Amino acid sequence: MDTKFMLDMCQLSNAEKGKKITILGAGIAGLVAAYELEKMGHEVTIMEGSPRVGGRVWTHRFGNEKDAPYAELGAMRIPSAHNHTLHYINEMGLSDKLCKFVTVFEEQNAFMNIEGNIFRMKDAPRLFQERYQGIYTDTRYSEQTRLFAAWLQTIVNTISPGNLRDSLEKDLRSHLMDELERLDLSVYFSEDGETIDLQAFIQDNPGFRARCSKALDMFFGDILVETSHDLLQIQGGMEQLIWRLVESVKAEIHCNQQVTAIRVKENFVEIDWLENGELHTRISDYILCTI
């Protein structure tokens, strides 16, 4: 649904003005909710259980200088189809900072860490024979199939949890190598024949996903997003969106407030929370939980 149309519909439905609303969670959802509710004329308070705002958006800076290096410890990429997020990036005046997000599989000098072994992407093919002897010694399959399977195993090992790594290894042994062998894989290799475009492969071959375990199939669905060539990022750190939202709301934001109870009464809501070991109560007309 178009973001502006959705917000216009909310405004039309806003029959009750001037309500006191408590929002649980100071992540991007809570901050956006506060921003929009205030525009509708409501009084908002935000309660956050942790010591920081931002939720999954967490930019760590290696120094206090303006141009200090930084790393994203949480959300770091924005799919181009995430229209709601892009709406608020524009709303907060950050559109000029949007730039392409380069994935680890697009940067040949990127470092990969698999089970304590660190190597550059560009060096991966030269290590495959050593790392995946089971794949490379199986002469029933072409060299191209074995190289593709090794890349597939490497990508899964790099960005997936351990149980999926085991699942892929079992699937390759039992039937997926046969599936790869019957497909034309040449179109998914780079010009030098050393890297693959896994996203294009997954998009073009739903039958391959259908033969994977359920968990692995879901992971490949995620890969379509995670390895997309049109992912975006905010240059200078994702937290800029958080701080622009914080500056744009009047709401008081209280961190370190651990909610212990919510009681819904006939005309109001009571919220109990712990802070510094003491129990407190807040009364609101409505409560909105975003955690």
- Could you give the number of structural domains in the chain? 2
- Residues 166, 168: Cα–Cα separation, whole Å: 6
Give pLDDT, residue 70: 95
Give pLDDT, residue 13: 86
Give pLDDT, residue 41: 94
Same-domain status, 191 and 131: yes
- Residues 165, 181: Cα–Cα separation, whole Å: 21
Same-domain status, 96 and 239: yes
Same-domain status, 165 and 266: no
6 inside domain: no
Give pLDDT, residue 277: 85
Give pLDDT, residue 173: 80
Task: Give tens-digit pLDDT for 219-236.
Answer: 888 777 777 888 999 999
With a threshold of 0.85, does the pTM exceed it? no
Q: Please report how the helices 124-131 and 143-159 are oriented relative to each other, as an axis angle in degrees rounded to 10.
A: 100
Query: Do residues 288 and 21 touch, judged by C-beta distance below 8 A?
Result: yes
263 inside domain: yes
Report, as ranges of residue numbers, the positions in the chain whose pLDDT lies below 50.
Answer: none
5 inside domain: no
Written as six digits, the tokens of 150 are 């090794």
Written as six digits, the tokens of 186 are 């040449």
Same-domain status, 122 and 191: yes
138 inside domain: yes
4 inside domain: no
Domain that holds residue 146: 111-228
Give pLDDT, residue 122: 81
Same-domain status, 57 and 87: yes
Same-domain status, 185 and 143: yes
Same-domain status, 266 and 200: no
Q: Please report how the helices 143-159 and 162-171 are oriented relative to each other, as an axis angle in degrees rounded to 10.
A: 160
Same-domain status, 73 and 143: no
Same-domain status, 143 and 218: yes
Same-domain status, 121 and 212: yes
23 inside domain: yes
Same-domain status, 203 and 115: yes
Same-domain status, 63 and 136: no
Instruction: Point out the domain boundary residue: 228, 259, 274.
Output: 228
CATH code of the domain covering residue 88:
3.50.50.60
